Amino acid sequence: MAGKTIRASEITQFTFCRRAWWYTRQGHPSDDSEERLAGIRWHRQHGRAVLAAGCLQLLGYAFLLSAVVAGVAHLTALALR
């Protein structure tokens, strides 16, 4: 094992299950590769949904701010008549 570089992604695998990490390092295939791939796909999709929700929230705040500015401008114009 000396001389082998440990990647950052392996640290997560090691902290989750040391034995599975060791087997992977020894070249044994993982039995849960299909479940892992499904989990990776789910997390990617969830990450995109969270990002989209954040963008929509930011857009909503921008519309709210523009409505407040337009309302203040309108009320100021009415008061100056």
Taking alpha carbons only, the member of 13, 8, 37, 15 closest to residue 24 is 13
- The H-assigned helical ranges of the chain are 8-16, 18-25, 33-79
Query: Domains of the chain: which residue ranges?
Result: 8-80
Which DSSP symbol is given to 68? H
10 versus 62: which is more confidently predicted? 62
Q: What is the pLDDT of residues 15-57, one digit of tens each?
A: 888 888 888 888 887 777 788 888 889 999 999 999 999 999 9
pTM as predicted: 0.56
Question: 3-state DSSP call for residue 81?
Answer: coil
